[in-house]
Amino acid sequence: MQQYELIQLEEVTSTQTYLIDKDESLALQEFTTVYTNKQTLGRGQGTNKWESEKGKNISFSFLLRPTFLNPSNQYLITKIISLAIVEVLQDYGIENVKIKWPNDIYVNENKICGILVQNKIIGNELSAVYVGIGININQTKFSFALNPTSFFLEMKKEYSKEEVFQACMQRIISLYEEFKTGKLNNIDKKYLNNLLFLNQKRKYEYNGKLIEAEIKDINEYGHLVLEGRELDSKEEKPSVFVAELRELKFLF
Ligand code: BTN
């Protein structure tokens, strides 16, 4: 089992903010992890909040130093982390686990895990990547989150949070080490194979307009490649276009 520095806190505003602040002042070791039972200001992507009932779920953040990676390939880290979480959930017997681009983990059309990736680039070096992960384990009622699910809701039983947390860390470290030593193959293909709604005709909001499109690929910058058309337009022929995170909204 891989060892790493673990900071366990009963309560904290956000493990992500705590980790980033600590790293600024102390220059932490790679894989240093902050784990808590309760976040009072859990952060999601952009300005979103992350809701999690005290003691029911896992919330943790850890530090990577992929200085070997060109910053233009930073999206590979997101892919590896997402794949590691998918594998852990599948090992627990959860079915229909998918990655909702770019880095949410879904079971069917419900969100079970959110991943927050923040990169620190100095010069031309990816000097730190802060990864925050929230996984719904034993929570059954949610008040804010859109279409949430949890281990309990999927499997109808309680799980040890510590065990799931350890399983995630071990899988993340092992995939990351394989990647670092050039032994992890087909990352792009594996990520694509696990992508929610790949090659399915769905409605999305794209730059405020309703479109019907199929996800076809992810480009080298981690943007989504879609083929489809605007629903209100007279143009019948679908076209291929690229969407960034802020441009595309999934409709459930
Ligand atoms: C999202 O779905 O938008 C990402 C959610 C990320 C939540 C985790 S919980 C641990 C870490 N600390 C935070 O404040 N956020 C991340």
- Verify whether ligand 1 is closer than 6 Å to residue 57 (CB atom): no
* DSSP helix/strand/coil, 78: helix
Question: How far apart are alpha carbons 112 and 136 in whole angstroms?
Answer: 6
Ligand 1, closest atom to CA 134? 9
Query: What does the pLDDT profile of the chain (252 residues) look like in tens digits?
Result: 778 999 999 999 999 999 999 999 999 999 999 999 999 999 999 889 998 999 999 999 999 999 999 999 999 999 999 999 999 999 999 999 999 999 999 999 999 999 999 999 999 999 999 999 999 999 999 987 889 999 999 999 999 999 999 999 999 999 999 999 999 999 999 999 999 999 999 999 999 999 999 999 999 889 999 999 999 888 788 899 999 999 999 999
- Atom 9 of ligand 1, residue of closest alpha carbon: 134
pLDDT for residue 67: 96
pLDDT for residue 233: 83
CA of 41 to the centre of ligand 1 (A): 10
Query: Structure tokens of 162?
Result: 């510590």
Ligand 1, closest atom to CA 113? 2
Cβ pair 246, 225 in contact under 8 A: no
Q: Of 119, 104, 103, which Cα lies nearest the Cα of 20?
A: 119
pLDDT for residue 237: 85
CA of 168 to the centre of ligand 1 (A): 15
Alpha helices for 13-160 (secondary structure H): 15-26, 75-91, 151-155
Question: How far apart are alpha carbons 29 and 22 in whole angstroms?
Answer: 11
Helix axes 75-91, 161-180, angle to 10 degrees: 140
